[in-house]
Copies of this chain bind each other. A is one copy, B any other.
């Protein structure tokens, strides 16, 4: 096990009828900017519940944070925060709204060009406090200090992390997910699966408890995913899928582990360049990264074949690893998520060339040992 340090201050409030609790989590003297997306919270009743709960608070609104939230949009909110002396941000919606709000929190207090937070890893010294009511099980952003932001003008997508943007609280009411379009439910399931795998499928650093937890999450997710797709109003299944999504990226499962994240790095570029969903990009890239790095990840992939897919433990590890790759692809397809670039109308050569060149220009190398070069990324995408 690797040495580690961990501290996560977020208060999680989970369950039915919990939205009203927001009123006790934000001091009355705060001036709140409530952020949200395209307005689905107005249709599913969440907006009304929040406004009712905050009727004794001062609340301004900022709507229109898009999926893969854009720097350009968020900077408009920063303007409002500064002009209106906002001192609390409340994100209501999915991971994009929350990620965007984390950026607003940091950028509002940043001296200099906030784009440097994303491209130069500029230090964040202060941030507006924030909380959230999260309505989409996917990113795990509700219990972590990270966010992913895009820039329209350059078709780029970058992540940043700071303990200062941990939500003060996250309210998770699984009933808010009943009305999700199936596509978003599926993307969230894929996202949760791949988050867990970025932390699991690496070389083996002797972390048996963590491995059990991560494989246990995958086993649970695969069962509960089928249930929510069959019956979108199954409360227990919705609750279990949401808790899987949250735990998929709160880092509890992988403390002391090695992590990969190359699938996400390549996937972010596909989303930035071709506009496909994050979950779609991950389903395309993961199986091929595993194929390319099978030797390195062999022990973990083989263990997964036995524990998750019920394969015979006496098969050669090489064969077991192949079973995991094949069955993972099959799982994505079984829930309606296609796994080839061509399925989304993307020319693989175009993607391979553009993305490997971007990584070359930025000096990006990927993987748990930082040994996946831009040339290997080219090769990976040519096989997607």
Residues of A at the B interface (CB closer than 8 Å) are 1-16, 18, 206-209, 212-213, 215-217, 219-220, 223-224, 236, 239-240, 243-244, 247, 252, 255-256
Contacts and interface: CB of A to CB of B under 8 A. Distances in A.
Contacts of A6: 11-12, 14
Given A216-B216, A255-B14, A240 B3 contact: no
16 contacts: A1-B14, A1-B15, A1-B243, A4-B12, A4-B14, A4-B15, A5-B12, A6-B11, A7-B10, A7-B12, A208-B220, A208-B223, A209-B217, A209-B243, A212-B213, A243-B255
Given A1-B240, A206-B240, 20 more contacts: A1-B14, A1-B239, A2-B15, A3-B16, A5-B12, A5-B13, A7-B12, A9-B9, A14-B256, A15-B256, A206-B236, A208-B224, A209-B216, A209-B244, A212-B212, A212-B216, A213-B216, A215-B216, A216-B216, A243-B255
Nearest to A15: B3
Residue with the highest number of chain B CB atoms closer than 10 Å, among A3, A15, A256: A3
Contacts of A239: 1, 256
A223 B4 CA distance: 23
Contacts of A215: 212, 216
Which 3 pairs of residues, A with B, have the shortest CB-CB distance?
Answer: A3-B15, A212-B216, A7-B11
Residue with the highest number of chain B CB atoms closer than 10 Å, among A1, A13, A215, A219: A1
Contacts of A206: 236, 240
A10 B11 CA distance: 13
A217 to B, nearest CB: 6
A113 to B, nearest CB: 32
A2 B15 CA distance: 7
Nearest to A7: B11
B1 A5 contact: no
B217 A212 contact: yes
A212 B220 contact: yes
A219 B223 contact: no
Contacts of A223: 208
Contacts of A4: 12, 14-15
Nearest to A208: B220
Nearest to A171: B5
A247 B209 CA distance: 10
A353 B308 CA distance: 49
A54 to B, nearest CB: 19
Residue with the highest number of chain B CB atoms closer than 10 Å, among A6, A18, A213, A215: A213
Contacts of A224: 208
Nearest to A241: B209
A181 to B, nearest CB: 24
Contact of A18 (B3, B11, B255): B3
A71 B209 CA distance: 36
Contact of A212 (B2, B8, B219): B219
A240 B5 contact: no
A188 to B, nearest CB: 15
Contacts of A255: 12, 14, 243
A19 to B, nearest CB: 12
B11 A3 contact: no
Given A18-B3, A252-B252, A240 B12 contact: no
A240 B7 contact: no
A307 B208 CA distance: 15
A213 B255 CA distance: 14
A252 to B, nearest CB: 5
Contacts of A14: 1, 3-6, 255-256
Given A14-B4, A256-B14, A220 B209 contact: yes
